[in-house]
């Protein structure tokens, strides 16, 4: 069966039903990478002297760009850390639309 849809979250897709241990390892690896990316964004934004316009909002687009991970796992992590993220950021959802000449999040905050 072939699934069609946008490259963004396709909530209609069934979960993978193969590779139990491999799937658990990949899930754990993805969750760790996304959590690390969130921590790096928070650290970057809290640096002293950082201009408000130079900060990045923690959201689906930014995390997908940094981690190259799927949106289901990103949504799961954002939901689990929602209180912490909301407390951290006072940026509106369109904050990361900085314009054509602005530095992208993956260039500004390299993922180790």
| Burial group, residue 38, by CB count within 10 angstroms (0-12, 13-18, 19+) | buried
Segment (H or E) for 82 = helix 82-88
Compute the distance between CA of residue 95 and CA of residue 54 in angstroms, rounded to an integer. Answer: 10
pLDDT digits (tens), the chain, 112 positions: 343 444 455 554 555 555 556 678 888 899 999 999 999 999 998 888 888 888 888 989 999 999 999 999 999 999 999 989 888 877 666 666 666 677 888 888 988 7
Report the interhelical angle of 60-67 vs 71-80 (nearest 10°).
120
What residue spans define the domains of the chain?
Answer: 20-98
pTM listed for this prediction: 0.74
Number of H helices, E strands in the chain: 5, 0
């Amino acid at each position: 069966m072939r699934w069609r849809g946008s490259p963004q979250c396709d909530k209609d897709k069934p979960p993978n039903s193969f590779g139990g241990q491999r799937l658990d390892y990949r899930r754990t690896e993805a969750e760790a990478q996304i959590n690390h990316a969130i921590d790096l964004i928070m650290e970057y934004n809290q640096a002293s002297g950082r201009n408000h316009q130079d900060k990045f909002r923690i959201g689906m687009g930014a995390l997908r760009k940094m981690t190259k991970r799927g949106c289901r796992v990103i949504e799961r992590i954002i939901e689990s850390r929602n209180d912490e993220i909301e407390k951290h950021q006072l940026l509106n959802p369109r904050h990361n639309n900085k314009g054509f000449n602005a530095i992208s999040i993956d260039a500004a905050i390299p993922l180790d």
